[in-house]
Structure 1
Amino acid sequence: MSRVYNFCSGPAALPEAVLAKAQAELLDWHGKGVSVMEMSHRSEEFMSILASAKARLSQLLNIPDDYDIIFTQGGASASFAQIPANLSHGFESACYLDTGAWSTKALKEAKKYTNVVLAGSSKDVNYTTVPDFSTLNLDETAAYLHLTPNETIGGLEFADLPETNLPIVADLSSTILSRPIDVSQYGMIYAGAQKNIGPAGVVINIIRKDLLARSNNDALPSVWSFENLAKNDSMVNTPPTFAIYLADLVFEWLDAQGGVSAMEQVNIQKAELLYQAIDNSDFYSTPIDVRYRSRMNVPFVLADESLEKTFLKESEEAGLRTLAGHRSVGGMRASIYNAMPLAGVQALIDFMQAFEKRYG
């Protein structure tokens, strides 16, 4: 069976080279006679994998020395609660910018732990754009400002950050490692792995060390305390060892591609080709403000909605998998993360143009 082009938003496609290496090492990692899945998380072997993953991520993102890398479980959805539980202690509020489905979920979860100040929202325009940063309602005495710079469901992305003295906490699940970022501009970055990092099961957290002291260890579960996790090298309990191992292989692969800057150029090319194909057609369209179109998640709709099921059926038969939009918004969505090759995007464009000729 040949491999398909997988446009799933997550769990997403992984680089074939990574899958091949993991397959080769599955039964016997580096001549040790065991799989990574069978290793003690406190063994010398796994500790070397953990150290490698942290070192490679630090190099790829040029993470400053005053930041810690923590691996957690539960996905970014668990982080929606874990972050306010840790970082809002001692503060009366936290600010949240509402730009789509995932920032809304994070905001709702935070209300269980602190008073939420709505910094701004684009709900009134169906989350098709980003609020003007000059109009944001920011409480500069708050614990932090939370952002979701890429809304995976809606296909909206922004790279600039608001001007504020608050620590910026950003959910970069869909964009981490797809473009260079200045980590020092953030108080904390978190990202579910199942998009640009590896398989589901682990969350990457990059947190400024001074924020660790906010963890109220007397009230927090031990496995939730950022301070406790940092002190114990992410191993308060058994970490998701195989997911961390695969993340390390992805980091190695990214380095071999030329790093994040080189990957950004490929991602720009892929996104421009796909959006150009959509814009040059009366058959397809996308509702997102052109200034904030996501490079990673490209939503589009057909002029004739009755053709959607046919489009999905025929695209899957053509080896183009998981193009259905999220159940909450419908339409189509192509997630074109780092592991999606340019050839996959071109194959999608060729199919879309052929489909338009048949049914347009």
Structure 2
Amino acid sequence: MTARKFTRALLASAAIALGAGAAWAQDYSFKLHHFLGAQTPSHTEMLVPWAAAVEEASGGRVEIEIFPAMTLGGRPPELINQVRDGVVDMVWTVNGYTPGLFPRSEVMELPFVYRNDPGAANLALHQMFESDLKDDYKGVEVMFLHVHSGNGIVMRDTAVHSPDDLKGKKMRIPTRTGAWTLEALGAVPVAMPVPDLPQALSKGVVDGALIPFEIIPSLKLQNQTEDLIELADRTRLGTIVFQLSMNKARWDSLPADIQQAFRDASGPEWLSELGHVWRATEDLGVDIATSAGSTHVMLTEDETEAFRTVLEPVVDRWVEEVGAKGIDGAALVDKARRLISENGSM
């Protein structure tokens, strides 16, 4: 099945779930909690189709109710403990909201390890999970890991063409690796979940942010930012790793055929398709921002090389930091870069 056919199948599954749900006798009900709104692409283009695909693969025995925007309570950084403690069945969350808790997976967040291909990075994460990353995920059963299109630069009123243009600027980022990137560029990192960004921009708490452009419309950032910047060939300043995970005890209680329904909906074909989803929504975000008057800049190769030179020590810093925990960071960097390259050429 091609990626596009897979998308159509997901949409068909969603329609079946809506039309025939009342006739199905669900044996297994799950609550999925996450931090973004019900109108965001993450909800409508990823979580809803994925849940529908699981329900269909289970033959109607599974029902997944999705609770967006922290409607079950708490703050985004609390999601991982909510699922580990069994407060909810499943969560979709940003690994970096709990700094240092998922150190191995941070390899995909590093600048110039991840460049510009979310589908290739998703597949690399999948291929590395059992052999290299699994120890990060105690207490949960990971359905899938993925990245977004990468950290572009959005600024209230500052054009950025070199690292010097970011010196002294207060910049939002949710992850510690992103904070290291900003520090290397001379900026001041400000950690916050992305739903807090609009208010932070409007009040001048931050001058800009490292975010994917797809989030601009749902947060209405086109009204508060004048400049969108990415590096040559759409290269980004790293990315963010997300997880969709289930409480481990709940997973272990499920029969093999129900577990397989979740696996069938979460495999490589889905992860590749997510890359297309993120890219499409990214383009939409750029279009909406530029239509509202923002300037979209793609840096030249020479300008990009200046960023690469400044940011290579961030990779070295991470390798040293995780090495103190007994993790071979250099090997993870090499493997991640190789797998991204291989998957990107497929």
What is the TM-score with the length of structure 2 in the denominator? 0.27
Say which one has the larger Rg. 1
Q: More helix by proportion, 1 or 2?
A: 2
Instruction: Tell which has more relative contact order, 1 or 2 (C-alpha 8 A, sep 6+).
Output: 2
TM-score (norm 1): 0.26
